[in-house]
Amino acid sequence: MNRIIIAFILLTLLSAVTSCSNTKKERRAERPNIILIMADDIGFSDIGCYGSEIHTPNIDRLAREGLRFRTFYNMAKCNPTRSSLLTGLYHGGDGAVHIAQLTKQAGYFNIMSGKEHFDKWVPDYCKAENVFDHSFYFWATTQYFRPPSGEFERPFILEGKELKADEIQYEKAPMYKTDFITGYALRWLDEAFTKDSPFFLYLPYHAGHFPLQARPEDIAKYRGTYMKGWDKLRHERFARMQKLGVLPLNTKLSPPEGNLNKLRKPLVPDYVNYYPWESLSEGKKDSLDLEMAVYAAMIDRMDQNIGRVLKKLEDNGKLENTIIMFLVDNGACPFYTNRIKDVQPGPANSYWSLRSTWANLANTPYRQYKQCGMEGGCNTPFIAFWPGHIKPNTITGQPGHIVDIAPTFLDLLGIDYPKSINGHTTIPLHGESLLPVFLGKERKEPDYFISGLDAFRMFRSGNYKIVRLNNGPWELYDMKEDPSEINNIAGENPEIVADMVRKYKNASKKVLGNN
């Protein structure tokens, strides 16, 4: 009898191992093409399918035929977000693995075109030219049009080599960054289609990061749209968001507020403070309408280019076996970065940034902005599209985080995380796969989420979230009862704050390297 039982147990275990192995083999055999598209400094409500008046039919299509997240966290600023997104780590160093190294391990053809911007801890072996088969990128921030000087403020890098502006290939004059970034990706997709292997395309756009520059025909589409002002438009966006279902049912519209960040200077009152739209002169309203129209035009142009990518995939029969993820690096930016004060935003000889009142509209219904761990800074759109796998037009309330992307890649690729990289033992990933959510299942929620710069850090565990401003005292919010962080309940719940701070300190030692 004992032998029979032992034999049965061994057969059961063998069956389980075989099943697991077969599942990995099946995933490896399917191997979808993967496209990861990132926007820059765009608020939660700036996309049509999240409530915006901005025309984004191609991104909306991905949402209509895919999945939208109500809560998806980033690291609240360009470089930490990209560092965490591409490595699956809140913080790391030697031993970090770029997701393109994972796709390369799985036999993918890797392409990148767009913005690269890392924290110092990201190893050199993770730079674009070291992990992609083809790469075209710029570092941090550049203009959209070729500036009057003739050269961009930072060079574009093609396959590791700096290019002069007149060496950049473009199709439509005047050259415009969002267009020619896409152009390089499309040319390399032609090469990808000739190969037997699947491809991974990383397409990190710069829109709508400053400087506010856009093609005149795109600006004209929105001129006059914003004469309603930020107060009325916030209410209109909020109403659409409620109707679309992209917010928790009990979400309230936060009161309008300016930028509470006291550490980012200069603190120009007209840019950082809130003031009612109706208090302005007609001339001032017209000037501000132009500012927001340029910002909207930049997002519109990005969507047009995403449409070019979708058409390329459809025309070549590749869309059905491609998973596309669209996300944003942080909420809208409220910082004064105007270098040329006598030229209005839009043309090549301008250099403007969005003010906090418009950024407050972009981040509807949430509070605060880029760099901050409040929802306006760290919660932005995330869309996943995968024909035949993701149920169309679905919305999930399960929260996710950009550190979850790398483990999701591992699941999609059907491979194991490498034990070493470039002579270093690999650092274990900090996130959890989103694949169950994509497939309509419940996943075990991670123990915590972290975001915001250190002086504006947030830490969320379960329904509770602590966040601080300007290195001040921790505030406490119940995100289930108060998704837009209107009521700070720290004063009446000191024991919860203490417990959350303890959890944060333990987590930060583990994943942020804090002592």
- Note the pLDDT tens digit of each residue in 311-334: 999 999 999 999 999 999 999 999
505 CB neighbour count, 10 Å cutoff: 14
Following DSSP, what letter does each residue of 455-470 receive, concatenated?
GG-EEEETTEEEE-ST
Instruction: Determine, yes or no, domain membership for 377.
Output: yes
- Region 409-417 average pLDDT: 97
Instruction: Determine, yes or no, domain membership for 464.
Output: no
Instruction: Determine, yes or no, domain membership for 505.
Output: no
Is residue 403 within 8 A of residue 90, CB to CB? The reply is: yes
Instruction: Determine, yes or no, domain membership for 322.
Output: yes
Domain that holds residue 225: 28-444
Look up the CATH number of the domain holding residue 177.
3.40.720.10
How much is the pLDDT for 9? Answer: 46
Instruction: Determine, yes or no, domain membership for 349.
Output: yes
> Alpha helices of 150-215 — where are they, by DSSP H?
177-193
Is residue 117 within 8 A of residue 139, CB to CB? The reply is: yes
How much is the pLDDT for 143? Answer: 97
- pLDDT(456) > 60: yes
Partners of residue 201 on adjacent β-strands: 35, 111
Kindly give, in sequence order, each residue whose CB lies less than 8 Å from that of residue 396, ignoring residues fewer than 6 positions away.
Answer: 67, 68, 69, 70, 437
Binned at pLDDT 50, 70 and 90, residue 459 comes out as: very high
How much is the pLDDT for 22? Answer: 47
Q: What is the Cα–Cα distance from 430 to 404, expressed in whole angstroms?
A: 8
Q: What is the Cα–Cα distance from 86 to 140, expressed in whole angstroms?
A: 16
- Region 37-47 average pLDDT: 98
- Domains of the chain: total: 1
What is the SS3 string spanning 269-302?
HHHHCCCCHHHCCHHHHHHHHHHHHHHHHHHHHH
Binned at pLDDT 50, 70 and 90, residue 18 comes out as: very low
How much is the pLDDT for 34? Answer: 98
- pLDDT(4) > 90: no
Instruction: Determine, yes or no, domain membership for 46.
Output: yes
279 CB neighbour count, 10 Å cutoff: 8
